[in-house]
Amino acid sequence: MQISNVKLAQAHSSLDIYHSASDVALPAVVIVPGGSYQQIKERDSERVALTFATHAFQSFVVRYPVLEYRGYQEAKEALVQAFDYIVTHAAELNVDPERLGVIGFSAGGQLAAAYSNRSDTKAQFAALGYPVIKPTIDDRMGVTTEDVSQLVTDRTPATFVWGSVNDGLTPYLDHVNAYVMALAQHRVPFELHEFGTGNHGIALANKYTGIVNQDRVDRHMSRWFPLFLEWFTEVIK
């Protein structure tokens, strides 16, 4: 595997590339980490990218502006530029653009949802982990966002969503439920797993991410990843 980083035109933004050697074009995921715009969490970034790589995905991590440079619009623009770069270089990156999607965690889930709903999106699928959907925690994050459930249309790509009923930061009724209701109303294919265990910010929920996440591990909630792989095989041909 060759790991590299390219700068994006958006200030304080870049794209980590985890390029696996392949003689065929592979499906690919663009990972948007959480971190409340304060940092790019390792639990949501390289460890997730490497895990996807072991399942024959090309993987990428968007490093959008955080801390004093943070901004919702700036982060959204970083995603646009990241996808444009990947599609433009798809052949050399061994990426199949028809199986290219976005996966976001927490605040990154809001950014991933926003990008997937663009009229010119290049994401063929989306996966949202305990996503921020409504602007209920903007003050906490120090940014001005939007209710991304209002962006859903009949053209929104198939979406996989998971979370925990124990999530106190982005409670189910205020966030996940609002988004899947919008997907259902627009007849967008989706799958939802709201686990009875776990919590917010748990990433893969296994030891591999737990070791950099205060040992936060939940065996049951970790099932989201194999469930996603099954969903992807069935839905994204």
pLDDT band at 237; cut points 50, 70, 90: confident
pTM exceeds 0.75: yes
Q: Percent of the chain beyond pLDDT 70? A: 100
pLDDT band at 118; cut points 50, 70, 90: very high
pLDDT in tens, 6-19: 999 999 999 999 99
What lies within 8 Å, CB to CB, of 213 at 6+ separation is 41, 43, 201, 202, 203
Q: Percent of the chain beyond pLDDT 90? A: 98
3-state secondary structure of 2: strand
The stretch 96-100 carries a mean pLDDT of 98
C-alpha to C-alpha distances, 92 to 9, 15, 207, 209, nearest whole angstrom: 21, 16, 33, 30
pLDDT in tens, 58-89: 999 999 999 999 999 999 999 999 999 999 99
Options 1.10.260.30, 3.40.50.1360, 3.40.1260.10, 3.40.50.1820; CATH of 2-235 = 3.40.50.1820
> Domain-by-domain residue ranges, the chain?
2-235
pLDDT at 223: 98
- Contact yes or no for 20/50 (Cβ under 8 A): no
pLDDT in tens, 35-61: 999 999 899 999 999 999 999 999 999
Nearest to 31 by CA among 84, 100, 94, 120: 100
Rounded Cα distance, 198 and 177, in Å = 18
C-alpha to C-alpha distances, 40 to 34, 124, 140, nearest whole angstrom: 6, 24, 16
Backbone angles phi, psi at 100, to 5 degrees: -105, 125
Alpha-carbon dihedral sign for residues 129, 230, 227, 193: positive
* Kind plus residue range of the DSSP H or E element containing 180: helix 176-185
Chain-wide mean pLDDT for the chain? Answer: 97
pLDDT in tens, 123-132: 999 999 999 9
The stretch 109-133 carries a mean pLDDT of 98
Residue 16 CB neighbours (<10 A): 19
Residue 131 CB neighbours (<10 A): 28
